Structure 1
């Protein structure tokens, strides 16, 4: 069959191109490993430097217990200089019987938010300590009050999805898995067909009595094989090496990831017909790939405006991310994610038909 002959030629060509194979098979492993360490590195011992003037010693002690490095100053003047010279996140000052004044450095608002939360926690702890002291004094004066003090009930925490120690990487790993497969297969397949066209190889194939469908099928078979290997490597690496928990079926994760690769393959081949050079192919990335990231699940779709939620339905990565999150985090079955899988298959079929029709630009068969 001609399609298998085209696929065989792609096999030989790809195995000779070690750099492309490394980009397709091993680059995602390296990127995923880096992302893993970035998002799972423990930040519990992170300290935040804060300057303090005339603050209640108990508040200062509570701040230090919550990993805040407190530096005491003898005056509350020159706050801006103190923050800059001592690399402080914030400067906290209190006048006698006056309000607490806080000046944040705020070049990193996230740090300001952490210090704000820790200060609020220190104030609440101070108030609770005062209330506890008053309660003890009242009980000492009237022991019968012990029965009137409500006892704190035990808390039994349960989680529908994930565990108590689930981190942010666990949440976004299904989205990253689908995105990396989609992006790299899109880029490599698009560049490969573009190279075939500009080098004249596609013209030679079209000169033979070959049907357009057989040409597209050959490319899908050829590059689909390498996409399948990529899927197996990446999923096994994420699950076995990085120990990312998969609540559902591992085989279903591989199936969805492989379908994502096929979708990217058909999409990349389609867009390559509209590019005249590798540079033009790269220009498609900020137009058709980057916008999809925001609809892949990194941002909760339900929190977006209604017209953006409707727009998400036209993004392939929306269905890929939704399906992978359902299986890996919620333990969904094929029936549960059936709509997403059908949408992915429809995208693949749609782009494949457009690829066959697109070859009319080069020869009517």
Structure 2
């Protein structure tokens, strides 16, 4: 092995990296950004759970106890209701994660040592259940002092009382798998045509840019729905994951995520110069989607700024929809903000992809 020839190859690779600005930027950009972002975002201690409150007692003691629960930082009041049934509706819609119900005979229950408060929990997320259980183990007495005896708090977990992780994980896996495959498939679509020399044939066709882009997307919609069916079938047969809502709504939600990811993949494909670059960009999107969407780590435990970033990711909205439909029995109409977010994301990404694509070789 000649060192001179070896050094020539090394210099050649370094020069190629210098010309490849995308790869050069990712060498330092990916680790720095992800270290800073995930270091602040990933927090297993759930805080600031959105909560609704029904105080039927209306006494000074009940108000003080509720205020002390809020002071722990575990819950954050975002809604009020008149009845426990209204709290259940808010939980089903995903508007709150925890409901605090103070019965009318709160003072009598506290004196008698009976359960004086009820904490209603969205059990579709095990992390929320754990945070609520921890809150119930350290009730406050209404004076700002922690006491473990009075009043007694009961925790009622809905939709997953057994706290089985598979119930929460399997619906999320539908979104994770679709995100990984759909973005990657279309991320290399245009680049592959260019590398294989097929772009000349496409240029010679009378296809418009929009027709070519839409034609690239349509076959993968069917593939994504097949993947969705496979994951749901295995989830039902192996893990007994329930589907409390409409199966039609499940497939509509999956279709919306498929379209969003395909549009994002096409945008990546118009920017990448090689299939390797397209895969790099796909990974750049995929990892934040898993870690920031609420699939692995509780969304409520993230800083507010990170939550704003997560709202841009399609997987964040899909997880809310799929868990709401499958586990809580909600309808798409009740989850319309996230449905609208996915649709808007698809339109924006597809418009950008079509505007960036040019039927030429340079």
2:196 to 196, 199, 203: 199
Match of 1:280 in 2: 277
Superposition map of 1:85-124 within 5 A: none
Match of 2:347 in 1: 349
Closer, same or farther in 2 for the Cα pair 1:300/1:355, shift >3 Å? same
| TM superposition shift of 1:159 | 4.4
Bigger shift: 215-224 or 230-239? 230-239
1:319 to 309, 317, 320: 317
Match of 1:359 in 2: 357
Closer, same or farther in 2 for the Cα pair 1:219/1:286, shift >3 Å? closer
Q: Verify the 8 A CA contact 1:227 1:262 in the aligned structure 2.
A: no
Residues 120-154 of structure 1: CA deviation (Å, up to 9, x unaligned): xxxxxxxxxxxxxxxxxxxxxxxxxxxxxxxxxxx
Match of 1:253 in 2: 250
Q: Verify the 8 A CA contact 2:175 2:315 in the aligned structure 1.
A: yes
Match of 1:25 in 2: none
Match of 2:121 in 1: none
Bigger shift: 232-241 or 219-228? 232-241
| TM superposition shift of 1:348 | 1.0
How many residue pairs get aligned? The number is 210
Q: Verify the 8 A CA contact 2:187 2:278 in the aligned structure 1.
A: yes
Match of 2:73 in 1: none
SS at match of 1:360: coil
Match of 1:113 in 2: none
**CA distance in 1: counterparts of 2:200 and 2:351, whole angstroms:** 20
When Rg is computed on C-alpha atoms for both structures, the one with the higher figure is 1
Q: Verify the 8 A CA contact 1:323 1:337 in the aligned structure 2.
A: yes
| TM superposition shift of 1:242 | 3.5
1:218 to 191, 203, 215: 215
SS at match of 1:273: helix
Closer, same or farther in 2 for the Cα pair 1:202/1:235, shift >3 Å? farther
Match of 2:328 in 1: 330
Closer, same or farther in 2 for the Cα pair 1:362/1:239, shift >3 Å? farther
| TM superposition shift of 1:160 | 5.0
| TM-score for both structures, normalised by structure 2 | 0.53
| TM superposition shift of 1:258 | 2.2
1:228 to 225, 228, 238: 225
| TM superposition shift of 1:350 | 1.1
Match of 2:133 in 1: none
**CA distance in 2: counterparts of 1:278 and 1:206, whole angstroms:** 20
| TM superposition shift of 1:218 | 0.8
**CA distance in 2: counterparts of 1:325 and 1:164, whole angstroms:** 15
Superposition map of 1:283-298 within 5 A: 283-297=280-294, 298=296
Match of 1:268 in 2: 265
**CA distance in 1: counterparts of 2:170 and 2:225, whole angstroms:** 19
Q: Verify the 8 A CA contact 2:321 2:332 in the aligned structure 1.
A: no
Q: Verify the 8 A CA contact 1:161 1:329 in the aligned structure 2.
A: no
SS at match of 2:343: helix
Residues 80-114 of structure 1: CA deviation (Å, up to 9, x unaligned): xxxxxxxxxxxxxxxxxxxxxxxxxxxxxxxxxxx
Q: Verify the 8 A CA contact 1:224 1:262 in the aligned structure 2.
A: yes
**CA distance in 1: counterparts of 2:179 and 2:158, whole angstroms:** 26
Note the aligned Cα RMSD (angstroms).
2.5
SS at match of 1:220: helix
**CA distance in 1: counterparts of 2:314 and 2:168, whole angstroms:** 19
SS at match of 2:357: helix
Match of 2:304 in 1: 306
Structure 2 segments unaligned to the other structure (5+ residues)? 1-151
Structure 1 segments unaligned to the other structure (5+ residues)? 1-154
Match of 2:105 in 1: none
**CA distance in 2: counterparts of 1:355 and 1:313, whole angstroms:** 21
